[in-house]
Structure 1
Amino acid sequence: MSSFEPTAISRSRPPDLVSGYRLEKLVGAGGMGEVHKATQLSLGRTVAVKLLNPDLAKDPSFIARFQKEAAALATLSHPHVVAIVDKGKTDNTYYLVMEFVDGPSLRELMRSPSMETPVLLRRMLEICRAIEYAHGRGVIHRDLKPENILLDQQAGGIAKVSDFGLASFLDDASAASRFALTSTHVSMGTISYMAPEQRVDAKSADARADIFSLGVILYETFTGEVPLGTFDPPSRKRPGLDARVDAIVMRCLKPDPDERYPSVTALIADLEPLVPGSLLSMPPLRLTRWQRAKAAMRRAARVTAQTAAGVTVLAAVGVLGVAYNRSGQVRVQPPLPGKAIMDQALRDTPRNGPGRVEDVTPDKRRVTMGDGPDLPQMLVAGRTLNFENKTLVFPPVDDDEASRVGRARVDVLGMVGGVARLTARVRAEAPPATWKRRLKELWDGPPPEPVASLGLMGRDGRYVTLVHHGAGAPLTLEWSLGERGGAMLGLASPEGEVRLELFVTEDGVMQAFVGQGKDQRPIAEPLNLGPDWQAHFGEAPVPTIGCIEGTCTVEGLTYTVDKPAPMTETPATPVVVVPQQPPRTVAANTVPAKAVVAKKPAPPPPPVKRPPVKAAPAKPAPKRR
């Protein structure tokens, strides 16, 4: 980070503004706030503290963007992505603590005419690898520009991507629908680097929008100009540049997303051969088989010391063999928790439990599980579900149990309506440590974190669910509704039991919340499904809970739906008003003929009976005189 002179807008801050850190120097400022070089007092290391502008800290939309950046960085761990250290809140603003990158931005590197072409190609390759990794983790940057790319001088000048404040979190990056972005988010993008579809409608931007931005940066890196309108290929602007770069740039800059590279991986495949072998970025270092074996043996020693001294030698020998075998294995990325829980392959088993199904009012229907005399039926799949003291419990998974995933949905009819509210208090806890589990951990690696979920499930695997990963981890809103699907990371979950809520307004806007009363906070941006929102589920959805690994408890599961207004009854045949007839009283449930579509042709109206008209009596002829 290069030095930045403070202005009236970005003035210096008290050194002890952020607890645990000492602010040393202002190094950057922008629309969102300021970045300070600071010292982490606990470790004595240099970090970067990003402060949200205090005025913007009063606006929930800016707070959400700030939290989004923290959530994005928390999911990424890559040598070419700026790492996050901490986040928190002061008396009047919010802050992020990140690793301090001691070096200029790519913008400053572009201004150096002496920079050699192979070095610039290497930096672009590093940036592409960072974005490839982010896309693989379901994160789309959507604000790539030279100012957001820093060069770490202490690490040999490698590139590091920063500023994920406009990132989106998606299950399927090619999905057509997205969470609706506010106009504030759209205006914060940089027009020169935005893909055409992102300029028109930011919510339609997917991974290919980042590829367009990479093309703009690639062109500007070699020419010093942004490609606007009609422009020359970069090889004509920079002597000695390989002409193959022209084809790469032009494909990235295609106005139609379908004509660009389908992924950053395909872009890297064309760009990497242009970088000299000696300048290729070093991938993350992989331990040798012997190094992995020694690390595994040290872990085994700690485990066996807690069990029995006689097992030490056997465990160490076993671990050495396992480490040797596992050294070349590639782990497959598991599906999103919501998708795993809502998997149609899980077979349902009906089971009745304590609960209550009632009509609160003539227009409102409610189902509650855990307490009540009605014994509603639940469809349980995968793991076992118990009812314990008004609480639904997925007990710890047995070591020999095949399924690690459990799901239970309330099989109740008549929950068709407009306004809906689903609430419950959930908790996810790691399973108790046993010597079998510890040996299994040495063999298979660390187990996944326990997960609990609360959501609505429809037909054909359609769902919306809130996922709780345990204390401190971000809450997640996941959804899969036909062609619409994705995931959004939200606020960090508090410790202990967490109250989750899904609320749907009469206009079909779905919002997720955590907490209750004054402490209730939105988890993610609203999902606009429209007034006929239940149609996206294929049928009236039912409340569903889930659990992966560990022990999951759900208490106070309640689902309330306001019934839709009754349809107006219509007569079997349309009412036809005969012209020149005296007006008559129309019943309250009658509609005009033009509003009714008759299934059968209506018989013609009977002829109107009129009283016979008597002829006037003839007048006598006058007498002649």
Structure 2
Amino acid sequence: MSSIEPTAISRHRTPDLITGYRLEKLVGTGGMGEVHKATQLSLGRTVAVKLLNPELAKDPSFIARFQKEAAALAALSHPHVVSIVDKGNTTTTYYLVMEFVDGPSLRELMRTPPQDSPVLLRRMLEICRAIEYAHGRGVIHRDLKPENILLDQQAGGIAKVSDFGLASFLDDANASSRYALTSTHVSMGTVSYMAPEQRVDAKSADARADIFSLGVILYEMFTGEVPLGTFDLPSRRRPGLDPRVDGIVTRCLKPDPADRYQTVTALITDLEPLVPGSLPSLAPLRLTRMQRFRHAMRRLVGATLRAAAVVVVLAALAVLGVAWLRAGERRPAVAPGAAIMADLGPPSPRTGTGRLETGAEKRKVVLGEGPDAPSVLVAGRPVAFEEKALVFPAVDGQSRVGRARLDVVGLEGDIAELTARVRADAPPPTFSRRARAMLYGPAPEPVAALMLVGSTGRYVALLHNGAGAPLALEWALGERRGTMLGLASPEGEARLELSLDADGVLQAYVGSGKDRRAIAEPLDLGPGWQEQFGGAPTPAFGCVEGTCRAEGLTYAVRRAPPLPVEAPVAVSPPPTRTVAVAVPTKAVVPPKRVATPPPPPKRQPIKQPPPKPPKRR
């Protein structure tokens, strides 16, 4: 709610001036008091508190006018009328607590650059419907002007009519006497927007006075000025405006009330065709005093019956809970894979983003990113595509199992690998889930399944049961059925993998890179393992209970490389004649070796001394 006067001077107010509310800041001032943004402490919501000026709070006529606005708002409940929350008084003043409208007034919007004609016409239609509703409940506003029309930005800029302080009541003698503020031949309102008869005698003005004010507002919205005396038609002041607007404005501004629209419903009938995409409105029924009394009694009786029904239902739930505890009733245990592969009704095709690779040696499908649009057949629970993930949101009701199978063909090969980042989370607690837990016991833990699915209910499923529970490998391949428990599930998201080699050895893994670990013992399906599935299997993702998510789901197959061919061995031609030699059966003992002594060492020849020379005689 914007300030009523942009130059309003904030006055200090203690935050706890009103019990149960905390005043935050002053957002506007007017002739009767101030409007503060406040917080309702019991609900923690933002509200608007309108305080009557303490000096005026001493005047009974202004107190009555303040009470009159509260009574008018209490009689109205419409999306284009500001709703009342509470009223009361303190030792110094009176207050009204109303819905807080976070947005500017129509007056402030008129000071900005002009908006498109369809937007202005739609906003005028919203204002007219609010006044049509008020007239149908016997309330005449009598002070319609741009300052009293607020635009709720949080609700898309819809218009809301406020300030019913000068309103009058039709066909209600008690209200008229209780809030008789207008004396005969007294003018009340804003002169520029008042009908001629209201300027002379506000007490005798009827619903047609509001129609005059609506015509002034409509003219000002398109031209930026109020029509005074002889005025130009709106289409002359605003090029391109539908000329039918001229006729509507002219008829609203007729000096004689008998020449104007007699009801706002008739005005709306002419205005609706000019608003693109508007729905025709139904005229509200005019309620008499007796009809309003009957409606109040019906509401009271209805509230009493609803309260009694709640008591009966709670009692029945308590009886059923005791009976279940005594009988020990439990839900039958069903293997998750079997539950996912059960008859979940006819599948419906969904198209998501992905990539298909159909090479000669390797074929691959990736779900979640890519230029292609692979089809997914969904059965049971609905499925959603969130960026790169396939998600089964939590649901209530009978269908707590979902299956999404990729509808792809041509993925045949001797080696297959299915991977995805999988997560399983319990659903948030709600009243209905708590009630079912009381009646039938705790709901099973959520299970997400990465699967290879064949024909006639044949499958292999790698099950993720949430944090702490063991991962499991479950299979049903004709007569071969079983389950192996493996490692504990990691907390949060887990990368799961199903791998089949050319010899038909199936292995399940968790993690990637250095952290990649086998979950359980390998499952040997043998060569030609496709026959175990009844043909080439297709990848699928399943969910039981809770919320299940698979991101980056990838399935790849390829042909095993052919065995290497050995080179031929060259064989020499056989001899022309072959002699067969009999081999004795008795082993021949080789002769013992006799140690021979080493030869004697050779003697060195003795050297003869040289001959002595003859003696000389």
For the aligned pair, the TM-score class normalised by the smaller chain equals: 0.3 to 0.5
User: Which of structures 1 and 2 has the larger relative contact order (alpha carbons within 8 angstroms, sep 6+)?
Assistant: 1
Structure number with bigger Rg: 2
TM-score (norm 2): 0.45
